[in-house]
A and B are shown apart, each in its own frame.
Chain A
Amino acid sequence: MRQGPFVLFSAWRGSGEQERVLEGMKLTGSQIFAEVLIEQGVDVLFGYPGGAVLNIYDALYQYQDKLTHIMTAHEQGAAHAADGYARATGKTGVVLATSGPGATNLVTGIATAYMDSIPMVAFTGNVGTSLIGKDSFQEVYIAGITMPITKHNYVVRRVEELADIMRSAFRIAQSGRKGPVLVDIPKDITSASCEFHPRPKWTPPSADFPQAIALAKAAEIINEAKRPVIYFGGGVSAAEAGEELRSLCEKAQIPATYTLMAAGILGYQEPLNLGLVGMHGCRTSNKAIDEADVVIAIGTRFSDRVALNTDRFAKRATIVQIDIDPSEVNKNVKVGHWVIGDVKAVLRALLPLIQPADHAPWLAQIEEWKQNDYHPKDDDTTMKPHQILDAVCKMAGSDAVYVTDVGQHQMWAAQYIHHLKPRCFLTSGGLGTMGFGYGAAIGAAMATERKKPIVMLTGDGSFHMNLNEACTAVSYDLPIITVIFNNQVLGMVRQWQTVFYEKRYSSTDPHRKTDFPKLAEAFGAQGRRCTSQPEFEQAFAWALEQKGPVWIECVIDKDEKVLPMIPAGGTLDDIMMS
Chain B
Amino acid sequence: MQRKVISILVQNHSGVLARVSSLFGRRGFNIDSLTVSATDKPDISRITVVVHDDETVLEQIIKQTERLEETCQIFQLENEKSLLRELLLVRVAANAHDRAELHEIADIYKARIIDLAPASMAIELTGEPEKIDAFLAVLGHYQILELCRTGITAMARGDQKHHKQATKL
Contacts and interface: CB of A to CB of B under 8 A. Distances in A.
Interface in B59-76: 59-60, 63-64, 66-70
A327 B56 contact: no
A152 B69 contact: yes
Nearest to A326: B63
Chain B, interface size category, equals 10 to 19
A164 to B, nearest CB: 14
A172 interface: yes
B23 A148 contact: yes
Interface string B124-142: 0000000000000000000
B63 A148 contact: no
Given A147-B19, A151-B69, A327-B66, 15 more contacts: A147-B18, A148-B22, A148-B23, A148-B26, A152-B68, A152-B70, A172-B69, A177-B67, A326-B63, A327-B60, A327-B67, A329-B63, A330-B59, A330-B60, A331-B60
Interface in B2-28: 15, 18-19, 22-23, 26
B56 A330 contact: yes
Interface residues of A, number: 14
B63 A327 contact: yes
A209 B14 CA distance: 35
Nearest to A155: B15
A250 interface: no
14 contacts: A143-B15, A144-B15, A147-B18, A147-B19, A148-B26, A151-B69, A152-B69, A172-B69, A326-B63, A326-B66, A327-B63, A327-B67, A330-B59, A331-B60
Nearest to B62: A327
Nearest to B60: A331
A327 to B, nearest CB: 4
A325 interface: yes
Contacts, number: 29
Rank and list the top 10 A-B pairs by shortest CB-CB distance, nearest first.
A327-B63, A152-B69, A148-B26, A147-B22, A327-B64, A326-B63, A148-B22, A327-B67, A147-B19, A172-B69
B12 to A, nearest CB: 15
A172 B67 CA distance: 11
Nearest to A157: B14
A151 B67 CA distance: 8
A178 to B, nearest CB: 12
Interface in A313-372: 325-327, 329-331
A147 B25 CA distance: 12
Interface in A274-327: 325-327
Contacts of A326: 63, 66
A331 B27 CA distance: 11
Nearest to B22: A147
A208 B21 CA distance: 31
Interface in A149-189: 151-152, 172, 177
Contacts of B23: 148
A209 B22 CA distance: 33
Nearest to B13: A154
Nearest to A181: B69
Contacts of A147: 18-19, 22
A110 to B, nearest CB: 15
B56 to A, nearest CB: 6
Nearest to B59: A330
Contacts of A151: 67, 69
Interface in A118-168: 143-144, 147-148, 151-152
A478 B67 CA distance: 38
Interface string B36-65: 000000000000000000001001100110
Contacts of A329: 63
A76 B26 CA distance: 23
B10 to A, nearest CB: 13
